[in-house]
Amino acid sequence: MPLLDLNLIRQRYNYACGYCAVTEVSSGGLLTVDHYQPLASGGGDDLENLVYACMRCNQYKHRFWPTADDELHGFRVLHPLRDVLCVHYQLNKQTGRLEPLTVIGNFHIQLLHLNRPQLVRKRLAEHIQEAQTERLQFLEQQIVELERTIAAQENYLALLRELIE
């Protein structure tokens, strides 16, 4: 694949796996390019058909492409940019697991193993980090307010001293 195309795909997917959201930074290198509709099933090399994907998701998806019967039962993989993912599954921040909301979402999660233990741990770690960042911002705000109170009290004390002298 030409470098320019690869960079375009990386950018399009924000340097992260379109399926599981693992980033280049957390995986320590470039990810792979998945043919959403496999070449063997008639898919092409056009940008719309190329999904930036980590090696694991790419392996689990492999050459899956739904038959007409599969489609009928909702057995298909969601397209990271074309499907509205939040309709099909949601993240449970407490457990770190993706929970299906539709039959398609359930199939998608199962096929790509999107609740593999490492991903669950990653999501939990991210949730803890988010909570800690929020807590830090709250504490920083409190410090600002306390500094304001101290300044006000100091002014008041200065006034009192002037009255006494």
Interaction site with Zn ion (CB under 5 A): 17, 19-20, 54, 57
CB-nearer residue toward Zn ion: 63 or 161: 63
CB-nearer residue toward Zn ion: 52 or 75: 52
> Nearest approach, Cβ of 83 to Zn ion (angstroms)?
16
Locate the DSSP E strands across 8-130.
Answer: 32-35, 50-53, 89-92, 97-100
From 101, 116, 154, 102, select the one nearest 19 (Cα to Cα).
Answer: 116
> Nearest approach, Cβ of 50 to Zn ion (angstroms)?
15
CB-nearer residue toward Zn ion: 54 or 104: 54
CB-nearer residue toward Zn ion: 59 or 155: 59
Amino acid at 37: Q
> Nearest approach, Cβ of 140 to Zn ion (angstroms)?
35
Asked if residues 56 and 116 have their Cβ atoms less than 8 Å apart, the reply is yes
- Rounded CA separation 113/78 (Å): 13
Phi, psi (degrees; rounded to nearest 5) at 78: -75, 140
From 53, 43, 44, select the one nearest 9 (Cα to Cα).
Answer: 53
> Nearest approach, Cβ of 32 to Zn ion (angstroms)?
9
